[in-house]
Amino acid sequence: MKSQISNLKSQIKRGELEDLRYERQRRRAYGNTNFIRAGSKKIFLATSALLLLTLGFTQNAYAQVQTITISPPTADFSLNPGAYAEGTIKIINDDSEAISFEASFQDFIVDNPLGIPSFQIHNTSERYSASSWLEVYPSSFVIPPQTHQTINYYIHVPSTARPGGHYAGLIFSPQNSSSLSSSGASVNTNIAALLSVSVNGEIEEKAKVISITGDKFSEFGPVKITTTIQNLGDLHIKPQGRVSLINMLGSSIEAKNLPENNIFPEASRNFEVSLGNKFMLGRYKASFLGSYGKNNNNPLTSEFYFWVFPWRAFILAVLMLLAAILSAIYLKRRREPKKPDLPKAPIQ
């Protein structure tokens, strides 16, 4: 029994000596291993903390985004001076929390080619103003989660109102929200319904095509054509028309209608269509024919010429053709029999 115990002790000592010897060799070869492991633990802990913190902020940011639907987002009225009209708007709270709102009015104009409304807080032109004509009930309210609120608004057109278009936004400002995802026009964190009032009378309807443009040279199709139309009248218009693609033979290859969008007074707007297919060759014409106005009887026309030529494919084809010709010439010369050498005449 004592011999077994002594043998066991000697094995343990030998194991400890081997471990000690291995540890010394490891430190000589990898002196910073312990430091790296400690650093790795620190980096892992820091990364974990940062990930949890990021997830926390993400969840908070997600919780702050609230979904609001306004219906209808736009409304058009055609009224006489001194007339009265009313309408309703439904605001739907799709969030899980109640949201309180306050209503207000602001005039808006559209002064960019993309058709984005710009709300006017100060220095609003009376020519297109309509915010002072509006009233709303209720002006403040709370919408419980997953429910809606119906808003009534009233329009009183002054008897001295100028004929033409007048534009205002019915704006709803949430009082307990920092971020919204809405279906209406947005004003910072607010939502708005856009109201257009056409006051009847002597209205000038005037518009023109400023340009119809695209790339004058393209390697491949389809080609994007941009038609810019300017409204010089007193009322917003919604021009209709189509752009046709015509080849060198005068044949119409394709035609597309313009998107139906409003152009507000004193503003211009871009209308884009893509025509043709990938493989096109030659000179083409993009021809626009359209109309505008209340009766849609005022014409608009313009055209644009451009070239499509796949020059890289053409150069490659020419090089391949030259290579084929040179190869044929070379093979032909190799196949021709060599002429025998004639004996030289003796020199006298």
Same domain as 190, residue 87:
yes
pLDDT by residue, tens only, the chain of 348 residues: 445 445 545 554 555 545 545 455 544 544 444 433 333 333 222 333 222 222 232 233 233 345 889 999 999 999 999 999 999 999 999 888 899 999 999 999 888 888 888 888 765 567 899 999 999 999 999 999 999 999 999 999 999 999 999 999 999 998 865 445 555 554 447 889 999 999 999 999 999 999 999 999 999 999 999 999 999 999 999 999 999 999 999 999 999 999 989 999 989 999 999 999 999 999 999 999 999 988 888 999 999 999 999 989 889 989 999 999 988 888 888 787 766 665 666 665
Among the listed residues 39, 29, 32, 95, the one whose alpha carbon sits nearest the alpha carbon of residue 62: 95
The DSSP line for 111-134 is: -STT---EEESSS--TTTB-GGGE
Answer whether residue 20 is part of any domain.
no
Answer whether residue 344 is part of any domain.
no
CA 160/CA 282 separation, integer angstroms? 58
Same domain as 177, residue 223:
no
Cβ-Cβ contacts under 8 Å for 274 (sequence gap 6 or more): 222, 223, 224, 225, 256
Same domain as 116, residue 91:
yes
pLDDT at residue 332, rounded to an integer: 81
Same domain as 261, residue 188:
no
Answer whether residue 345 is part of any domain.
no
Range of the domain at 193: 66-199
Same domain as 192, residue 71:
yes
pLDDT at residue 75, rounded to an integer: 94
Answer whether residue 159 is part of any domain.
yes
Answer whether residue 101 is part of any domain.
yes
Same domain as 225, residue 173:
no
Same domain as 175, residue 295:
no
Among the listed residues 75, 88, 68, the one whose alpha carbon sits nearest the alpha carbon of residue 151: 88
pLDDT at residue 143, rounded to an integer: 93
Residue pair 128/166 in contact by the 8 Å Cβ criterion: yes
Number of domains in the chain: 2
Cβ-Cβ contacts under 8 Å for 89 (sequence gap 6 or more): 70, 71, 72, 150, 151, 153, 170, 193
CA 173/CA 190 separation, integer angstroms? 5
Same domain as 146, residue 95:
yes
CATH code, domain with 297? 2.60.40.10
Same domain as 184, residue 96:
yes
pLDDT at residue 2, rounded to an integer: 46
Answer whether residue 318 is part of any domain.
no
pLDDT at residue 67, rounded to an integer: 81
Same domain as 232, residue 173:
no
